[in-house]
Amino acid sequence: MKLYGYFRSGTSHRVRIALNLKGLDYESMSVNLAQDQQLEPEFKALNPQGLVPVLQTNDLQLFQSPAILEWLEETYPDTSLLPKDSAGRMRVRALSAMIGCDIHPINNRRILQYLRNELSVEEEQVKLWCQRWINDGFTALEKLLAEDKERGDFCYGDSPTLVECYLIPQVYSARRFGVDMSAYPIIEAIDKHCHTLQAFIDAEPSNQEDAL
């Protein structure tokens, strides 16, 4: 498999985590978003949206990280990232969607570049924009995690699920944008625990070959 992505892309980061947790071998193919390589014809032949990540297999070209994560779960179920029961799967998917649908999309590079370049928003205001939506999402997530008395060291149970694939890249992004993470002790503890696991360490942006 080949994973086309960028070291600091949150969506690429979440797919790296899932691949690593499942113990799958893949080749990282760098698409430099800072140089707009995702908009070049060569990459748009892989994904007409011009977005990373793209996961290429012998038979398939997969895009959109939520679909990639679900495909990995269905294709390589031995190390499952979803609970066995339907209620558990619903909760994991809901927590994941809080991050993947309601926090990340409005803070991704396309949106921020539009604010900067088209609307001439000052950088400090862009930073405040990011902080606002991350804080809103993390406040709700922290509350839900605190109310779950059966939760172990992770967002659900005692092993990583799809939620961590979404959460850990978002925590990385939150720190980049200066969010005060001390307001979210449970999220911080989960992030710290995840970084005792090699799958998460290896997926870290700073550990990628294209890290700048």
Sign of CA dihedral 97, 102, 104, 110: positive
Question: Whose structure tokens read 């011009």?
Answer: 50
Question: Could you please report the per-residue DSSP string of 99-143?
Answer: HHTTTGGGGSHHHHHIIIIIS---HHHHHHHHHHHHHHHHHHHHH
> Omega of the bond prior to 83 within 30 degrees of 0, cis?
no
Position 65 confidence tier, pLDDT thresholds 50, 70, 90: very high
Strand partners for 4: 29, 54
Mean pLDDT score, 85-102: 98
Amino acid identity of residue 206, one-letter, is S
Domains of the chain: 2-79 (3.40.30.10), 86-200 (1.20.1050.10)
Could you read off the pLDDT of 132-162 as tens digits, one per residue? Answer: 999 999 999 999 999 999 999 999 999 999 9
State the pLDDT at residue 182: 98
This prediction has a pTM of: 0.97
State the pLDDT at residue 51: 97
Question: Whose structure tokens read 């309601």?
Answer: 102
Position 88 confidence tier, pLDDT thresholds 50, 70, 90: very high
State the pLDDT at residue 211: 94
pLDDT > 80? residue 113: yes
State the pLDDT at residue 24: 98
- Which ranges in the chain belong to alpha helices (H)? 10-21, 41-44, 65-75, 86-100, 109-113, 123-147, 162-176, 185-194, 198-203
